[in-house]
Amino acid sequence: MEEILKQVQQGMLSIEEAKEKLATYENLGFAKVDHHREKRQGFPETIYGEGKSAEQIIAIITAIRANDNAVLVTRMSKEKSIEVLEKHSDLLYDEQSQIIYSERKVKKEFQTGYIAVVCAGTSDLRVAEEAAVTAEAFGCEVRRFYDVGVAGIHRLFDNIEEIQQATVSIVVAGMDGALPSVVGGLVSHPVIAVPTSVGYGASFNGLAALLTMLNSCASGISVVNIDNGFGGAFNAVLIHRLAQRKEKEC
């Protein structure tokens, strides 16, 4: 803000140009695009794709990119993504995670350490990949440890040393939702538990897993909502970023 005001004072910017740069959001009629979110939070605005038409998503992406912000769109069906990519062909679509995103490499400031995404079963992969792709889109290294649920716990133990070296783990599980508690008892870093709606009738579309995770006997576990891979990744990236800053200070 100070830099913009200095440019106005020096005659380098008109008042109208300054007003445009200082505007915190852009009103598209059906949406108000928050252009200053990355300045406030360190993350650009993420578009939630469900319930929006392809035309609306295209318009929001266009507004975001006009301000040089990166793009991340979650919960995108393949059919809808085809329409969007016709207008923004350089964006990428990951079918399993159902995410459209602009390619990002691991940021220099996050080049040490990694986020572990630990997934109980193959049926949980959509949510696990939503978490993994989101964290990668935000510039973090991600290592995946899939199909390591408690029904065959030896598979987890075969990977536990590498998981233990992560900055933070995102643990995704449905059914009884027991995996985060097991991981939480084996690592010394924060665990973000993500329950999924996978399971038989008495799982109540993920409610059983959610309650198990909320009642975990292991310490250091935080729980996000059912199927919320994006939310799990967002929290994990915040923790990872803080860890990198602390390491540099030391």
> 215 vs 1, which has greater pLDDT?
215
Q: Which of 39, 72, 101 is the last residue of a domain?
A: 101
Does 14 share its domain with 96? yes
> pTM to 2 decimals?
0.84
Does 154 share its domain with 241? yes
Does 154 share its domain with 81? no
Q: Which of 101, 134, 152 is the last residue of a domain?
A: 101
Q: Which of 56, 81, 101 is the last residue of a domain?
A: 101
CA-to-CA separations, 55 to 84, 95, 110, in angstroms, rounded? 8, 20, 35
- Coil, strand or helix: which one is 132? helix
Alpha carbons 45 and 31: distance in angstroms, whole number: 12
Q: pLDDT confidence of 7, banded at 50, 70, 90? A: confident
Does residue 124 belong to any structural domain of this protein?
yes
Alpha carbons 123 and 91: distance in angstroms, whole number: 27
On whether the CB atoms of residues 136 and 142 are closer than 8 A, the answer is yes
Alpha carbons 221 and 201: distance in angstroms, whole number: 26
Does residue 159 belong to any structural domain of this protein?
yes
Does residue 210 belong to any structural domain of this protein?
yes
Alpha carbons 57 and 59: distance in angstroms, whole number: 5
Q: How many domains does the chain have?
A: 2
pLDDT in tens, 102-151: 877 666 655 678 999 999 999 999 999 999 999 999 888 999 999 999 98
Alpha carbons 49 and 5: distance in angstroms, whole number: 37
Angle in degrees, CA 150, 154, 157, rounded to 5: 100
First to last CA, the chain: 32
- Beta-bridge mates of residue 221: 191
Does residue 161 belong to any structural domain of this protein?
yes
> 44 vs 58, which has greater pLDDT?
58
Does 76 share its domain with 124? no
Does residue 158 belong to any structural domain of this protein?
yes
Does 114 share its domain with 43? no
**Residue 108: CB atoms within 10 Å:** 7
Query: In terms of residue numbers, what domain contains 74?
Result: 7-101
Q: Mean pLDDT throughout 18-46? A: 73
Does residue 1 belong to any structural domain of this protein?
no
Alpha carbons 222 and 232: distance in angstroms, whole number: 9
Does 115 share its domain with 237? yes
Q: Mean pLDDT throughout 71-96? A: 92
Does 157 share its domain with 85? no
Does 70 share its domain with 118? no
Does 67 share its domain with 127? no
CATH number of the CATH domain containing 123: 3.40.50.1970
Burial of 207 (0-12, 13-18, 19+ CB in 10 A): middle
Q: Mean pLDDT throughout 222-241? A: 95
Closest CA to 156 of 143, 147, 168, 167: 147
Closest CA to 100 of 120, 117, 83: 83
> 88 vs 3, which has greater pLDDT?
88
Does 185 share its domain with 63? no
Does 75 share its domain with 168? no
Does 85 share its domain with 207? no
CA-to-CA separations, 141 to 66, 133, 156, 223, 238, in angstroms, rounded? 27, 10, 20, 22, 13
Does residue 2 belong to any structural domain of this protein?
no
In angstroms, how far is CA 218 from the centroid of its own chain? 24
